A and B are shown apart, each in its own frame.
Chain A
Amino acid sequence: MCGLAGFIAPALPADDAPGVITSMLGHIRHRGPDEAGYYLDDGVTMGAVRLSIVGLATGAQPMADPDERYWICFNGELYNHIELREELRRLGRPFRTDSDTEVVLQAWIQWGEACLPRFNGAFALAIRDALSGDLVLARDRYGKRPLFYTDHGDAFLFASEMKAFRAFPGFGFALDPRELASVYALWTPLPDRTPFRGVRQLPVGGVLTVRGDRRSLRTYEELRVDAPAFTGTEAEAAAHVREALRASVELRLRSDVEVGVYLSGGLDSSIVTKLATDLSPHQVRTFSVQFEEASFDESDSQRVVAGHLGTRHSAISVTGADIAEGFESAVYHAEVPAFRTAFVPMYLLSRHVRDAGIKTVLSGEGADEAFLGYSLFRETLLRASWHDLDEDERQRRLAGLYPELEHFGPAHRKHLTGLFRQFSTESLPGLFSHELRYQNGRFAVRLLKDRDEPFADLLAMLRADPGYAALSPVQKAQWLEYKTLLAGYLLSTQGERMSLAHSVENRCPFLDPAVVRAAASVNLRFDDGFEEKAILKKAFRGELPESSLTRPKQPYRAPGAAVFKKQRPDYLDLLLSDAELAKFDWVDPVFARKLVNKIMTTPDEQISTKEDQAFVYLLSTAVLHQQFVLDRERYMGTPSEAGLTLRTTVDHRRARLSAGGTR
């Protein structure tokens, strides 16, 4: 059940509403090609496109309670629907279907907003109370499913993807330079923002009630990165983590269709594959991306894990030409500027998975945030303890930080020591952990004509959070990663948006609340954090190939600017031509020209990461400008092959007029 859209539009002629909602759903049909439906009453029009995973025959949407007071459009999955259904049944709630959507609806009727923290799932929903007139929108606690909204005149629009707004009469997108600065500096939009003027996203764990002209936005569950310390032994802690993950995978294998696994070859996806293999009644199918360039390729590790666990494995080989060819389509689905190209191979992978007949996959997202897997966390620990360490210890810890980066090697250790010393005290209040990364982000901000302080809105968000200031430096780093890179890029641009571009639903066992709590209770209790995910490795020692447990983390990356330089796709002209560049009112043409010229004329190995990222930002924003602002179809890539099959249409308008508004 994978996409929704709707509007409150008093001025829209009544006869137009069915056509507009159908067209909005058409723009997101890739999210749910199995069936579609809409509901209209005198205040609200809303609809859903559905990818049937649970309750194949009975889960049509929009769905109502028996009294037809409450109507729901539900995007996502509720993994604990069986337990909640039993509890609700005992409370006397009636059920007519075996779908999880009905559980969500009955839970809402029983508990109201208090049902939301009970949900273990990936979801976004819209519930209409035809009696009170309320429209409620809500989103899961980690941001696994999207929900955007905006105002257009006196109309309120909402949808799973912003592109649905293109179908609303008179609506137009404009890039917002202030938000672009934030995206460029932080790598993602802020939790409630988008790159487009006036278009918001519902923050993770958020619930929005719309009643007439009034709006009320609340957080139903705050992000928790702390937990009471685990009190047992290290071995017991490892067993506790393993059991939390086993239970999480078991819940996420609940499906009426076969569930596959994305296997990158790293520790996290190997653990997911191992547990899925243990818990599935059939041979598990695994899927991977391979690269022609050895420095990006992990196919050896993938083969070792797949062989060890006996999965039916298949991989696609991605070349630079594939990335250049798929870039426009992937950007169209991502809807936000990207700093890397690594999302494009994921777009191609989901096509392969769909063609293999798989609709649902498990993946390893969330492990690095929960179990302190990123080098960023070790960097934070090192910088935070800098003044307590002697010179030898500083050098030793520096040496292990970024083994994949040549300039962190022994030849430059002395210089790096000087650099880190400068970043051993906090200068942006609350952002200590991310200061090195964010200073690099300022480089990309120079692409913009209007570049006020890009961190102002983030700093305001941190000040407004009641618990943030009391967190340790590493917990702050986790909090920032959950709120920005995870929700704003990994789960969305590289995750959900790419898989659903080809009607594949992703599920993330590491993002189960019990797993996140287990991680918080054991992190840094039994180790100093400098061995990557030590407790997780202990939890699965003996069950995975030794290489999976000992090899250093290889960040998932794909070739960047070099691809476009070599392939010269047509859309590169947006940057190569001064006339085209001048059409972007948000760009500083002098710096953009310097950057593009440097990329095009400098050997690849002399291009720094931040230059590469700035270039990919510029190119993806230029393409987005064509797609969303100028509405130019030729830049939108390959149209979705999905169809729109309207199965449910419910018209409850009493005051329907043949012309004019419905109110």
Chain B
Amino acid sequence: MDRTQKIQQFIEERFLVEFGGEVTAETDLFKAGVIDSFGYIQLMSFIEDEFELRISDDDLLANVFVSLADLDAFVASVAEKRARAGAGQGGVPCAD
């Protein structure tokens, strides 16, 4: 399962939603009534644990994590930074 699928599956199972119909990767998940503050914390914790990364204050300021596409792009960018830094270990698991 790739990175995008993992995030999508978490959101679908946790928040009782299916991507592809009314909800797309670009949908603002707050405004669509999919996540609330409790769900947001769950989602952030999932991203940090699953991809072994820490979302910094700077990340929060520079990014708006309200859609699947936002989250996916953020995790991808972290993976890319790590790869560029030449870190052979500790890369983002599941990143394809």
Binding site for B on A (CB under 8 A): 391, 405, 407-408, 412, 414-419, 421-422, 427, 436, 439-446, 591, 594-595, 598, 608-611
**Among A416, A446, A595, A611, which residue has its beta carbon within 8 angstroms of that of B41?**
A416
Which of B3-11, B58-66, B75-83 makes up part of the contact surface? B58-66
CA of A86 to CA of B38, assembled, Å: 57
CA of A421 to CA of B33, assembled, Å: 18
Q: Which residues of A contact B38 (CB under 8 A)?
A: 405, 407, 608-610
* Other contacts beyond A440-B36, A608-B38: 7, CB < 8 A: A405-B38, A416-B37, A418-B60, A418-B65, A419-B37, A443-B34, A608-B36
Minimum CB distance partner of B37 in chain A = A419
A-contact bits for B11-41, CB 8 A (1 contact / 0 none): 0000010000000000000111110111111
Q: Are the C-beta atoms of A439 and B40 separated by less than 8 Å? A: no
Minimum CB distance partner of B38 in chain A = A608
Interface size range of chain B in the complex: 20 to 34
The answer, yes or no, to whether B44 is at the interface (CB within 8 Å) is yes
Known: A414-B60, A598-B16. A445 touches B33 (CB 8 A): yes
Minimum CB distance partner of A420 in chain B = B37
Q: Are the C-beta atoms of B36 and A422 separated by less than 8 Å? A: no
Minimum CB distance partner of B30 in chain A = A439
Q: Are the C-beta atoms of A415 and B31 separated by less than 8 Å? A: no
Known: A415-B44, A422-B30, A442-B31. A436 touches B37 (CB 8 A): yes
Binding site for A on B (CB under 8 A): 16, 30-34, 36-41, 44-45, 55, 57, 60-61, 64-66
CA of A534 to CA of B34, assembled, Å: 36
Minimum CB distance partner of A437 in chain B = B36
A618 to chain B, nearest CB (A): 12
CA of A595 to CA of B39, assembled, Å: 15
Minimum CB distance partner of B31 in chain A = A439
Q: Are the C-beta atoms of B33 and A441 separated by less than 8 Å? A: yes
Query: Can you offer 27 A-B residue contacts whose CB atoms are under 8 A?
Result: A391-B57, A407-B41, A412-B41, A412-B44, A414-B55, A415-B44, A415-B45, A416-B37, A418-B55, A418-B60, A418-B65, A419-B37, A422-B64, A422-B66, A427-B31, A439-B31, A440-B33, A443-B33, A443-B34, A444-B33, A445-B33, A591-B16, A594-B16, A608-B36, A608-B39, A609-B36, A610-B38
B2 to chain A, nearest CB (A): 24
CA of A444 to CA of B57, assembled, Å: 32
CA of A408 to CA of B30, assembled, Å: 17
CA of A610 to CA of B39, assembled, Å: 10
Q: Which residues of B contact A414 (CB under 8 A)?
A: 55, 57, 60
Known: A440-B36, A610-B36. A415 touches B41 (CB 8 A): yes
Q: Which residues of A contact B31 (CB under 8 A)?
A: 427, 439, 442
Q: Are the C-beta atoms of B60 and A442 separated by less than 8 Å? A: no
Q: Which residues of A contact B40 (CB under 8 A)?
A: 415, 419
Q: Which residues of B contact A445 (CB under 8 A)?
A: 33
Of the listed residues A412, A436, A445, A591, the one surrounded by the most CB atoms of chain B closer than 10 A to its CB is A412
Minimum CB distance partner of A417 in chain B = B60
Of the listed residues A408, A417, A443, the one surrounded by the most CB atoms of chain B closer than 10 A to its CB is A443
Known: A414-B57, A415-B41, A595-B16. A439 touches B33 (CB 8 A): yes
A638 to chain B, nearest CB (A): 35
Of the listed residues B37, B44, B45, B60, the one surrounded by the most CB atoms of chain A closer than 10 A to its CB is B37
Minimum CB distance partner of B21 in chain A = A590
CA of A416 to CA of B43, assembled, Å: 12
CA of A50 to CA of B3, assembled, Å: 67
Q: Which residues of B contact A422 (CB under 8 A)?
A: 30, 64, 66
